[in-house]
Structure formats: structure tokens, C-alpha cells
Structure 1
Amino acid sequence: MDIKKLFKRIFKSTIDKHKVEIQIKENTLFFSVNNLGFFPADKYIILKNRDTGRFLKSKIKNRIAIFNLKDIAEFGAHDTFDVYISLRIHSKYIRKRTPFSMGNQGLKTYSEDLNLKAKSFKTKNGYLSFDFKKNSFSQNINTLKSVGSNFYIEGEVTQFSNDYQVNQLELIAVRRDNKKSFGYSINFSHEGNKYNFKQIIMIDKLKQDLDLNSRWDLFLQIRDNNRRICYKELIDMTGYTDFSKEEDRYLLENDFKDKYKLIVYVTMGKESLAFWFTDNEQYLKTYNIARGKTVFNNVCEQQPLNQKMVFFESFLGKSYSGNPKYIYEYLIENGYDKEYQFVWSYQGESEIPGNPIIVNREEEDYYRYLALSKYWVSNIIFPVHRKREGNVYIQTWHGTPLKRLGYDIEVDGPEKMARENFYLESRNWDYLLAANEYSKDIFQRAFKFEKEILLNGYPSNDIFYKNNKQERIESIKTRLNIPKNKQVILYAPTWRDNELSGSWNHSFELKFDLEQFQREFGDDYILILRMHHLISDNLVLSSSKHSSIFDLSKYDDIQELYLISDILITDYSSVFFEYANSKKPILFYAYDYQLYKEEIRGFYLDMYKELPGPVLEDQQQLFDAIRNIHHIKDEYSEKYNEFYQKYCDLEKGDSAKLVSETVFGNQ
């Protein structure tokens, strides 16, 4: 092994598990450092200014590093400092961020001599940082209570200088996504340098802007005699109560007409006051996730990683499918289960081979096994945006993008609002799968991803290249009672960001007549309907009217439906990239093309120029295309071949093998 790499590995193992405890006494900041190991090296705590890159350094002596707040105050009026530990041996250095630990929660102090407020906080990635701010006021919240759908707040402001004469206190509610703000004048009384305030916050004032799942941050604002703003800060809840349990952050749960709720809560990290307007279903899910995070954190603190445990999840635990399924089945078929313990997050009814541990995303065991497992395999996102030292996270993703993703999305909507979660999640990914170079380029930009991308095709597409393909087709059709004398059309549209029917549930209206389809094509075709996993569709089929139409939206594995289908109808779903591996005809039923392109999401490709099939805008065009499918197949054969070479050329039927050997080694 290279000597430099050896030293780096030794250094890293020395500081990987370090923890700090903080105390502030007499304008001095003390770091007590534990779990540093015994490797002989100079060790330092570093406070690095996030904006300027300037830093303060203190050598650790007898496990203690010391900083003078006066030195910090000289940096500026408002600074954020990130905490690092650094080791030096000879001329070699290694530096690592210091993780946040619960013992440092609620640290807040104010130095009257320096007019400096110091507060520790947890970053979005779980590290320790500090806010140092010069100002003349500090605040404290004493009471929060529900008053119907409204809430009552009581607290105090302390003034540390005579620079301003306080005239007015206000609470400002600022909506996060569009920055709309509303102010509440607050009643207060004055005694010495303390201002005691109390106020009922009437939520009806905001009702025109209380959109579903809107989140609002709350600021305390002070005006002087000239009505100038002399102080404005997020309402600080540090120390209000013990937030060691994640669910304790949800302070008030106020019913707000019908099925809606107004949730008053404390944010992660900054521990500021905010509220969230949502529905009962989404709140219950989120609260259960918070309880699960408490379990996750406790296991992380108390139990070691299981080096031979692998945790699988596909589409938020809704199905046994996708790239995670096909990686898992390769591992089972090739004997990895003799060495590894497998866990599946799954809520469906399919039988999963190999006797894995099965957990439900809504229950505590999910978080317990997630915390214990060294390996994570997922195709969307986990509810915990933190992983342990030593975790290996394989993000398999679930398609080649036509619609814009992540930071490429410009149109407002739930996907744009959710991209912050994906960014946090992507910091944890160690491997990301891509089916082609085109996807690789988009993923790197849209997810801001800089680690390793495995460019081996998709394990789920191996199904198109197996020797037993025909035998499998007959087996699937038999299981689904699909007549073997008819051809199969698969209709698999995507969801519309603008058709929200609840928190991350979406409606969908079929834009062609099923009864007319039955009359025209029922003798020759079976139509399989496969709605997107986010769509809550109330479609009801009648056996007498729709004998040739199957609703298989709940069928776990769409890859098997690709395999048995002779024609695919879709719109903007990425399914056509995968289906192109079959080289069978694809029809694009894009009845709302202009709206989707300009107002809903936007595309990476020009659909009319680059897709391997016709773009159809109404039912008549769609049905004509089905009638003339052989002519369309001939017409698009050259474009289809070009498309296949660009997006499917890496698929050889061995993707699951290549991914498994890269991550787990040869068995």
C-alpha cells in the first residue's frame, strides 16, 4: 500500500469517532475532546469562518482546546463558524468536521462585555457549528399554548446596551417558499432592561396564503422610536425544552377546519420557531418519522454497525421492484446470503425470496434495522438524512430522466420544494447508478453529486437480456390470467405535479374512453393500466364493460409488465427509456404537452424530434396509431435504432453482477 494512503488511513481512523463537549465560562470557550485514540500527533480544534475561510486554531492539550470569545468577536458582527478537528504529523495534515452530539444541544450564552451572543447548532448534515452575533438584545420564550386553531406566545427580551429606545415589538411570519410575510404587533411591558411580551397569534390573518404544506418561519422584530428596525432574529427556542427526542419538536397540534392542522414546531439545527399547515395524514406520517428518528439516533449511539447487514427499499417501501430487487436477487442467486443478513422495507403482499427480515416504514423496527445496517440500497430517499460512519449507501435511482430533476427544475411545484431533501440525501450516497452517459451528466448536475457513478446499465433492465425470457413471459401471463392469444398494450403515464389531491398524493384522469377502446380493440388486445406510484386513482373497472382491460397499478414490478407487453403507451414517464430495451413500439400520448413543458416541469429532450415514436395529442390520434402500429414501427425504425444506441447501449444483462461485485466483492 502507498505510504501516503497508509498514513491517511491511520489518521482518519484516529479521529473518525471523536466527540466534543462544550462549555463557556468567563468569555472563554472550552472544547473537551473524547475518543481521539492514542496515535502520536499534534491535534487541534479549528473554528473556520464559513463566509471568509479565515480560522482560529487551538491545540488540544490534556483533551482540552480553549478559545477566547474576544478573538472570535474581532471577526465581525455576524459570523458562522464550523468546527473541525485536525491532526498533524511532520508536515502532513488531515482535517474532519466535528459531529454534533446531544450533549451540546441548547448551548447559548451572551457576553455583555463583548456584546456577543454565542449559540451552538446542528447543521443539516449533522455537524457542529456556532453562530456568533453582535447585537444589543437577547430573547427567551417561556410559554406556548394552543388557543383553538391559533396559538399564544409569551416571553421576554433583554436589552444589553442603551443604543436604542424600544418602541415596538413585532412577530413576523415569513413563508419559506415565496417569502410572503405578515406582521403581528405584540403587547409588552417594560421593567428595567427587560421587556415582557405576550400575544395570541391569529392564524386567520394568513388564511389566503395557508397553502397545503406551506411552512412559515417566525421572527421577533424590534423597532426604535423612529420606527427603524434595530433587531430582527428568528424566534430562538434553544433550551425551551429537551429536544433529545425528535418528536418533542412538535410543540402544538392545532386542528384547522375539516382535515387540516396547524403544527407549531421547532426546527432542526437552528432550533427556531416555525409552523406548518398540512393535513392529518401527512402530519401523522411526519410525526411517526420523527419518532423513528429517535429510535435511529438511540441505536446509533448505543449499538455498533452490523458489518454484514444490507437494507433494501424500493419506492418508499411500497413495492418489491426496481434496481434494488434485481441487485438483491442476484445476491441471493449467487450465495451472498450465506455471508450477509438481508432486510427489506416492504408493505406489499408479494413473497420475497431468500427469507429476509421484512420491516414496515411506519414502524420502529424500520429505523432500528436501518441504523444497524452497514449497507443501504434504495431507489428514492430514506426518511433519515443521516448515516453512520462506515455506512455504504448505494443509490440505484429509477429511470433515465426526460423530465427535469432536482436543481434543474425551474417551475415551482412539489418537486422543486423537495429538492432540498434530495440534496441532503445525496450527500450520503457513496454510489449512484446510471443507465447511460446522458443520465450520468444530468445526475451530477441536478443532484450536485461528486462521488462515484456506476455506469453499468440498470440491474432492472437485465430482464430483457436473459436466456429464459420467453419462459418467464408465459409464466407471468399465466399468473395474471392474460389470454395468450391476444397482444398486450401497457399504458403507463406519469403523474402531474399540478394535480395534487393531498400531501404527495395525486389524482389522474384518463384522457381516452375505455369503453370505446374495449369495443374497437378488445378482440385483439389486452390493455394493462399501470399508474405512477404517487397517483391515488379512483378508477373502477367493470368486468362486463372492460373484460380486456386490467388495472395493474398495484402490481409490484413494472419490469415484468414491460416484458409481456407488445406496445407501450406513455407520456412523459421515464418508462420508455427502459422499454426501449425490448425494441417494441412506443406511443407517446401527450395531450397536455405545452402545459407540461412550460408550466409543470419541463424536459431535457425535444419530444417531437428525439423520441422513438409518435407524439399523439388526442384520442383519435392514439387509436389511429394502434390500428396502424406496424406502419408506425417501420416509420420510426431508424430513429428507434439511434435512440437505442444512445440510451440502451450499456445494457448487456450483467448490470446486477457488476454492481454487486463493485460494492460487495466477488463471492
Structure 2
Amino acid sequence: MNWRINESGVSATIENIEWERIHLILTVRLHIDGQKTYDIDKMEFYAVNNFGGCGVKFDVRRKEDIIKLHVNVTNNGDLRCIPRGTYRIFVCEKDCVLAECETSPDIADQLEAMSRNFLYGERGKSYNVTFYIEDGTDTLPFRMHCIALGAVGVTFPQNPSFLKKINLIKALKDCYLSSRSVLRRVYKWYSFLYKSRRKNTVLFMTEQNQKIASNLKAVSDRMVDRQLDQQYRLLYSARPAAAEPQSKKSWIGLMKLLAQSGTIFIDDHAPVLDWLKLDDDTTLIQLWHAGAGFKSSGYSRWGHEGCPSPQSCHRQYKYGIAGSKNIAPFFSEVWGINDEQVLPTGMPRMDEYLDEQHRNEKIKELYEQFPMCRGKKVILFAPTYRGRNKKTAYYPYELIDFEKLYQICGDEYVVLFKMHPWVNKDIVIGKKYADKFLDVKKYPNINDLFYIVDLLITDYSSNIFEYSLMRKPMLFFAFDKIQYSFSRGFHRDYEESAPGKVCYSFEEVLSAITDKDFEYEKVEQYITHHFDYIDSGASDRVIDWILLGKMPENISNAIKKKQEEIQRMHELDFATGMLVQQDD
């Protein structure tokens, strides 16, 4: 890099520091000497460590001479957290360094409060982003320090035990005899055997369920329909390993399947891949099960209990999928990957859902199975669960005023209750309500129910994604929005994004039903934003774009451009100029 700080006529001051979840936003004011001419829109901002290495290229958003620098601290563009180091921020134009960012005196005493710690690893570890001003200068040079820390003892220091330091038995267990180290070697052994034959082998895998379903099944079935099972060898692995212990035979069998596969499709978090690194010639694809709700997960909730470690299964994805390019940032944030890696193929499971013949068949079946719905408007009450996980999941049924809901149904409505499958306690419907209320929790596919539903009542669930395409109204019963936002977090503003009226009490829900006050206009806005395709071609797009290499040119070009940007970031060398500056 060419050092022009002394003669550039450019100065930059950081005037504010903000956080949006894991996104760091620095407000920078530029001042340019009137005799100098620069194209501000072409300026680039880099965070550079003390050794001259580039750790971040900021996303720059400009309004006149005020510039906002954005970076996701869990992904510096290279699918990793900002690396450990102390960073200064340089303003650059092409290969010229024009200025180093200073700190505004207005925030100098607030830097400590603006710093942030993100706990992970069962709250025993922390990733810290700390801001400070470097000592020993006449100015206020801005510094940002990033580091991952582990738990340490707080007792008074003593001489360490020599025997503990050379505990050979523990070392042997950790390196060779622990279950994970053994399984890694099993995987490597099978990889050696199958490496030359894995190219055309595809594995459909879930660690959350006992059967292949949803997006995985849709893509697999479509490959068979297109006779691609003659070109590709299709393998399957379905285990509830995320919640239940598995046998040694099951684990060894999984290692063999993974080692045989050139492409692996998953549709949820696979904990085994948090600690097992796949070979570089194996492609991992995330066909995420949820459309686009509000709940934070993965790296979106970094710093909260249960969040992933800096390296996890998510970092191994080559691609994930979403309904549209507009919502790709929601998913890339969750997975800690780049926006360009999230392909707007649509959800494969919706191919059948949008098929007219399937819809007509299911409507006939549903009215036969639930005759009380004939000739009535159907309300579906389908909220998400409360609690931390599958074992503790529940729903506070006491908040539902069954009597008043029954009364406002009159001759117009019936109500179906479908609770989240993790909620173990079933809803109890009194006999006097049985002619209008029905528990349909055991009905296998909520999407099919949407065909006969006239009003969906939900909260933070992603079921709104599929239901929105029915172009019917929704209500959102968000009685615990504040508590939920702190415990689970939202990856976008709830009130602005909900495609319907938000109610904070059951009385408000009842009033909205009575007054037919659903704020329906939000549904069309939601559809426009969340769907690039409304058809039955999502499975074909996944197959064509990912397996057959027929990626649309604009998408492949964007991916290539991002890769080139990352490569350039690695190649930039600020070290020489920094040494000269220090000598001065």
C-alpha cells in the first residue's frame, strides 16, 4: 500500500459506535482539504492489526460526509470472527492509504461502555471487542481490540504440580481415546477408502429427526423423478442425535456415510459437524427447515445461552437457501456466512404445497376428516413453544379465554388448535366447546391445514412464511414480546415485519376478530419481500444450481466477486507504511 497520510488532505473521525446484535456500526465523519479532490464513494475502510495484516473490510454506507461502517463481528467476510488483534482503521483509495481514523473527543470517555463481550461455550468463554485510545500520543488514535478468552482461576497463584502437568493418562485419553478423537480417525480412514468415489454420491442427512422429511425429502424425491438417481448415488441418514444418545454402531455408520459423500444436504443444525471437519472436497448444503420468522438462532443470538462457538457446523456450509435475495441476510447472519452464499431458490417443501392438484386433494381430505369445518370460517391457533428446548417446551394455555373465544365464534367460526410439536402437554378442550374447538396437533403437516384456514393466529413462528401465500389474514398474539426478545432475540423489528396486526393481550385478539381488524395490507408487502419465486420449481433450482452447476450468471458472478474481495483483503500489506509512520 502507498502511504499518503501526510499529504492526502484527508482526516477521519469516529463520532459514534453502535451495536445491532452482532453488527458493529461505526459513524465516521470525513474532512477533506478544499484543494483536494476525491471520490468518496470509491473510498474503502480497513481494520488493520499491528503487524499490518487486514482483518476487516468494512461495508460502507454513506450519507453526504457522514459514513457508516458496518461489520458482522462473527464473520469478517472470511467465515470467521474478526481475528485476535489490536486494530486501527485506515481510509484508502485503491492502493493508497489516505488517513487513519481518530476518536472524537465527544465519545472518548464512553469507549469502555461501547465495548461488547459475547459469552459462548456454556458461558465459560467470551469473545470481546474493546475500544480504546492509544496512549503516548498527542492525538486520539482509535483502537479496537478483539480477543477470544477462556475461564481462568481466581485463587491465589501457587506452584503448579509437575505430575499434573505431565498427566500422560489424560493426554492419551484426550488425544486418542475420547469418543470424538476416535470418530475423527474413523472418518479419516473411511475417507481414505472412498475419496476417489465420492464425487457423485449425495447424502441426505438429519440429526434432528428419525425420518427424512421436508426440504430433504422434496429434493430427494425430485432427483428420483428426474432419474438423477441413475447418475448419482443417493444415501440417507436420519437420527435424533441432537436430543438422544446414539449407539457406537450408529456413530461409526454415520462416519462411513459422511466419508462416502461428495455432497451432503442437511436441513437443520447438525451437532456432529461442530467438532468433525469435513474434507475440503465435500460440499455441505443447508436446506434450512424454516422459511423466515422472527426468532434469532445460530450466530444471530451470539452471546446468549446456547449460541454456537466461533467455529461450528454452520461455518462449513458452501451454500444455504432462502425464499428471496431480500431475506438472504437473515440466514447468512444465523449461519455466519456471506450473503452471496445464500441462494434464493425458494423452499423445496413448498413445491407440493403450491401444486394445485395436491391442494384440491388435501382440501377434500380435510373436510372429510374435520366435517365441523364445512361451511365455516376456520381459525387456526398455531403459536411457537416457550421454554429453552424440546425437553422444557410448553405453552401457557391459561392465557386463552376459551369462553369468550367460543362466544365470538357464533355461527361464523370454528377454531383449530395446533401446538408446536415440542409442547408435550396437550391443550384441554372442554366438552361444551367441542362443537367449535378441535385439537389437531397430531395432524402431520400444518401446511396442508392452511388450505382451509381463513385466519391464522400465531406469534413468532415461521409458519407465516407458507401461510402468507394463501393471501389470507393473520393475527400475532405477542403477550410476552419483551421477555421473548431478551431470551431468544429477534433478527428484525417485530412490529414492522409482522404481516398482520400485533396483539399484546387475548382481549386484543378477540377484539381484532370481532372487528375484522387484521391489517391485511401487510400480507402483500410480506410476500413481495420474501419470495423471488412463487411456483413449484424450488427443488429443481436446488438440483440445477447446486448439483448440476447451472447457477444463474448474476448469482455466480456475485459469489466470484466476493471471493476476489476476500482474496484481496488477504493480500493487502500495510506493514511497510506502518513501520515508516512509526519511525516518523
Task: Provide the TM-score with structure 2 as the length reference.
Answer: 0.57
Aligned to 2:458: 570
Aligned to 1:491: 381
CA contact (8 A) 2:204 2:212 kept: no
1:431 to 319, 324, 332: 319
CA contact (8 A) 2:271 2:313 kept: no
- CA distance in structure 1 between the partners assigned to 2:417 and 2:480 by the alignment: 19
- CA distance in structure 1 between the partners assigned to 2:233 and 2:368 by the alignment: 30
1:396 aligned onto 2:280:
no
Aligned-residue offset at 1:589: 0.6
1:626 aligned onto 2:517:
no
Aligned-residue offset at 1:347: 6.6
Q: Secondary structure at the match of 2:263?
A: strand
- CA distance in structure 1 between the partners assigned to 2:299 and 2:120 by the alignment: 21
- CA distance in structure 2 between the partners assigned to 1:476 and 1:411 by the alignment: 46
- CA distance in structure 2 between the partners assigned to 1:175 and 1:604 by the alignment: 19
Aligned-residue offset at 1:621: 1.9
- CA distance in structure 2 between the partners assigned to 1:534 and 1:522 by the alignment: 32
Q: 1:446 to 1:484 in 2, by over 3 A?
A: closer
Q: Secondary structure at the match of 1:459?
A: coil
Q: Indicate the larger mover: 339-348 or 612-621.
A: 339-348
Q: Secondary structure at the match of 1:587?
A: strand
Aligned to 1:240: 170
Aligned to 2:534: 651
Which ranges of structure 1 fall in alignment gaps of 5 or more residues?
Answer: 1-49, 55-123, 126-173, 181-215, 251-267, 270-290, 349-359
Q: Secondary structure at the match of 1:626?
A: helix
- CA distance in structure 2 between the partners assigned to 1:175 and 1:452 by the alignment: 25
CA contact (8 A) 1:488 1:567 kept: yes
- CA distance in structure 2 between the partners assigned to 1:238 and 1:555 by the alignment: 56
Q: Which structure dedicates a bigger proportion of its chain to helix?
A: 2
CA contact (8 A) 1:219 1:234 kept: no
Aligned-residue offset at 1:436: 2.0
CA contact (8 A) 2:262 2:281 kept: yes
Aligned-residue offset at 1:591: 0.8
**Per-residue CA distance 1:109-137 (angstroms, 9 max, x = gap):** xxxxxxxxxxxxxxx99xxxxxxxxxxxx
Q: 1:503 to 1:647 in 2, by over 3 A?
A: closer
CA contact (8 A) 2:353 2:448 kept: no
**Per-residue CA distance 1:197-216 (angstroms, 9 max, x = gap):** xxxxxxxxxxxxxxxxxxx9
Q: 1:178 to 1:658 in 2, by over 3 A?
A: closer
- CA distance in structure 1 between the partners assigned to 2:162 and 2:433 by the alignment: 65
- CA distance in structure 2 between the partners assigned to 1:396 and 1:434 by the alignment: 8
Q: Secondary structure at the match of 1:310?
A: strand
1:380 aligned onto 2:268:
yes
- CA distance in structure 2 between the partners assigned to 1:343 and 1:478 by the alignment: 37
Q: Secondary structure at the match of 1:662?
A: helix
Aligned-residue offset at 1:658: 0.9
1:590 aligned onto 2:520:
no
Q: 1:179 to 1:473 in 2, by over 3 A?
A: closer
Which ranges of structure 2 fall in alignment gaps of 5 or more residues?
Answer: 1-48, 54-78, 81-118, 126-149, 551-584
1:156-175 mapped onto 2 (5 Å cutoff): none
CA contact (8 A) 2:207 2:238 kept: no
**Per-residue CA distance 1:69-107 (angstroms, 9 max, x = gap):** xxxxxxxxxxxxxxxxxxxxxxxxxxxxxxxxxxxxxxx
- CA distance in structure 1 between the partners assigned to 2:426 and 2:167 by the alignment: 44
Q: Secondary structure at the match of 2:326?
A: helix
- CA distance in structure 2 between the partners assigned to 1:516 and 1:315 by the alignment: 42
Superposed CA RMSD: 4.4
Aligned-residue offset at 1:571: 0.6
CA contact (8 A) 1:490 1:528 kept: yes
**Per-residue CA distance 1:575-614 (angstroms, 9 max, x = gap):** 21332122111110111122223x2233233333342211
Aligned-residue offset at 1:366: 4.2
Aligned-residue offset at 1:242: 4.2
Aligned-residue offset at 1:302: 4.3
- CA distance in structure 1 between the partners assigned to 2:479 and 2:384 by the alignment: 13
Aligned-residue offset at 1:409: 2.2
1:531 aligned onto 2:419:
yes
CA contact (8 A) 2:120 2:309 kept: no
Aligned-residue offset at 1:382: 1.7
1:408 aligned onto 2:315:
no
Q: Which structure dedicates a bigger proportion of its chain to strand?
A: 1
Aligned to 1:638: 521
* Aligned length, in residue pairs: 401
Q: 1:575 to 1:175 in 2, by over 3 A?
A: closer
Aligned to 2:178: 249
- CA distance in structure 1 between the partners assigned to 2:385 and 2:356 by the alignment: 34
Q: Indicate the larger mover: 541-550 or 371-380.
A: 541-550
Aligned-residue offset at 1:380: 0.9
Q: Secondary structure at the match of 1:437?
A: coil
**Per-residue CA distance 1:478-497 (angstroms, 9 max, x = gap):** 6754545144333222233x
2:226 to 319, 334, 358: 334
**Per-residue CA distance 1:420-449 (angstroms, 9 max, x = gap):** 28x521222121102123321233344321
Q: What is the identity, as a one-letter code, of the residue corresponding to 1:642?
A: Q
- CA distance in structure 1 between the partners assigned to 2:317 and 2:408 by the alignment: 49
Q: What is the identity, as a one-letter code, of the residue corresponding to 1:412?
A: H
Task: Provide the TM-score with structure 1 as the length reference.
Answer: 0.51
Q: What is the identity, as a one-letter code, of the residue corresponding to 1:375?
A: T
